[in-house]
Amino acid sequence: MRCVVANWKMNLATQEARAFCDDLVGRIAPGPGIEVGIAPPFTLLHLVSGLLRPKGIQVFGQNGHAEPKGAFTGEVSMPQLRDAGCSGVLLGHSERRQFFGETDAALAKKVKAAWQWDLLPLLCIGETLEQRDAGRTLEVLGQQLSILGETGPGPLWVAYEPVWAIGTGRRAEAAQVQEAHAFIRAELNRLLPTGTYQVPILYGGSVTPESFPELLGLPEVAGGLVGGASLDPRKFAELVKQAS
């Protein structure tokens, strides 16, 4: 199965999102073998899910709290994401880890909460440039994946997003992607019992229609998690077509 997910981050408002969705549904019609998702900001979830879910496009939250409700000002819970039309949630994006202090311990709780509310977690992992330069890439990925030893198995997608490739226009090279994805697959096999759900591994970081076909040709690359290029419906539709 191929997966292409748009992460809009903190971009777009109502009119722009509506125009994007109207344009996108005229360009793609996801068939069997491909899952397409959009992760809009919270304020746009109702609008986007109303427009896209009837067309077979999934909607993801960009984050979710582990508690179902309570005194957590500024947070949004998993049942609230479901209520807004989400079928999944991004967890552990590097921007959440870097700027909002997201920890592996908190992420283990969030993955379990997502499952409890029937949301598909898309767990994002990746090393910083400093960690890569220090030869610690696989160690960091192993640490970030180790939460799955605690959560146990369940429906899950993983995105490998090297932090230094996000929003920089500097996509990871094929050999780097291949090494990371092979390692992630081996770790998933080690941590999760065999015969359970086959986890798709997506690549993210400066994905464009120019660079995506090469990535899709690599073993263990099931698709992409796309930031910048996903804000243009023409480019995003092109990525979906390449993966189809």
As given in the structure block, the two tokens for residue 61 are 């939250």
CB 64 within 8 A of CB 76: yes
Contact pick of 207, 215, 222, 240 for ligand 13P (by CB under 6 A): 207
Q: Rounded to an integer, what distance in angstroms lies between the CA atom of residue 139 and that of residue 98?
A: 18
For ligand 13P, the closer of residues 7 and 63 by Cβ is 7
Footprint on residues 2-61 left by ligand 13P (CB under 6 A) = 7
**What values do phi and psi take at 135, rounded to 5?**
75, 25
Its sign, for the CA torsion 16, 20, 23, 25, is negative
User: Contact with ligand 13P (CB under 6 A): which of 40, 205, 223, 233?
Assistant: 205
Q: From the candidates 35, 161, 187, 238, which is the catalytic residue?
A: 161
Known catalytic residue: 179?
A: no
Pairing of β 157-160 and β 120-125: parallel
Cβ atoms of 30 and 51 closer than 8 Å: no
Nearer to ligand 13P, 85 or 126 (CB): 126
Q: Minimum distance from CB of 32 to ligand 13P (Å)?
A: 25
Known catalytic membership, residue 127: no
Nearest distance from C-beta of residue 171 to ligand 13P, angstroms: 8
Q: Considering 65, 93, 220, 238, which one is annotated as catalytic?
A: 93
What distance in Å separates the CA atoms of residue 35 and residue 31, rounded to the nearest whole number? 8
Minimal distance, residue 226 CB to ligand 13P, in Å: 5
Q: Dig out the tokens for 178 from the structure.
A: 């291949």
Q: Footprint of ligand 13P on this chain (CB under 6 A)?
A: 7, 93, 161, 166-167, 204-207, 225-229
Active site residues: 93, 161
